[in-house]
Amino acid sequence: MDQTETQPRVPDHFTGDDFSPFRFFTAEQWAAFRADTPLTLTEDEVRRLRSLNDPVDLDEIRRIYLSLSRLLSSHVESSQLLFKQRKQFLSLSNVAKTPFIIGIAGSVAVGKSTTARVLTELLKRWPSSPKVDLITTDGFLYPNEVLRRENLMDRKGFPESYDVASVLRFLSDIKAGQPNVRAPCYSHLTYDVLPGEYIYIDRPDILIFEGINVLQVRDLPEDGKIVPFVSDFFDFSIYIDADEADIHKWYVDRFMNLRQTAFQKPESFFHRYAAINETAALAIAENLWETINLKNLKQNILPTRPRADLILRKGPNHLIEQVALRKL
């Protein structure tokens, strides 16, 4: 008998297999975990929070986000209890609690921003009224001037286009409880970091850190030195998932819709695409997807999916169909 036939097959894909480190739930099963978690958002608020082409509504909040809010509440409470126990164990006196950091990853156009904004508002409205802040990694991109000089404009959004050292310093200061930690600001209109403009984060109870590559790892050193990953600072991580074909469609649809809105503004980096005909614009959107965003998804983003604590998988209608929660 061929020796390979006697070896057990280990699954290498995203399934509910017994080998998986995740437990899988349909959206309906997941909704049942809401229990008595109250709905604290209105339809108008959800409409303001969602991104272009994202159909999330109050039904989706009830099905998915209230259960997620309840889960995160239990994680935050457990983290706070563990902090108190460790403080007592180490006989520490003047050490303030550290913020609970939630990382949100996933492809461009998959809906990370909507998830981050909705969660931020839901968490703020817990009975304990925690201070919740949201930061995206866009501000930590190198300025366009630097990207052009390094010939990286066509790899914007790839790991090498970010100032990872600045990201690590920011998260380290947040975890250390430093006051007024600054993060650089980014403009999606001008498609560039805003020079000299910052947002200041002052000792939040919870920080949501959102970006396509926040679960990315780095090469390990041969000498065993400590090499921190961005995700080392996370207490909980979420990956927004969908089929490649669906993300492709959402990206192109968003690009075409932006031609009628943001791209119309003269100061927009993409203003030149507003005036061309639809056929030419569609060809440009397809090329941007194939040469930049799809490559980044396959090479850098999708491989980080198994590192998340929770995976929210969307269907073609942009609504979540399946939830995968890492086993304890």
Q: Binding site residues, as ranges?
A: 106-113
CA distance to 94, 114, 162, 208, 218, per residue, from 139 (Å)? 33, 18, 9, 15, 20
CB 140 within 8 A of CB 167: yes
User: Which among 293, 9, 155 has a CA at the least distance from the CA of 285?
Assistant: 293
Reading the block at residue 251, the tokens are 């990206």
| 206, 130 Cβ separation under 8 angstroms | yes
Say which residues have a Cβ less than 8 Å from residue 47's Cβ, sequence separation at least 6.
none
Binding residues for ATP: 106-113
Nearest to 208 by CA among 26, 318, 323, 69: 69
How far apart (Å, rounded) are the C-alpha atoms in residues 41 and 3? Answer: 59
Q: Rounded to an integer, what is the distance from CA 123 to the centroid of its chain?
A: 16
**Closest to 323 measured CA to CA, from 308, 212, 110, 5:** 308
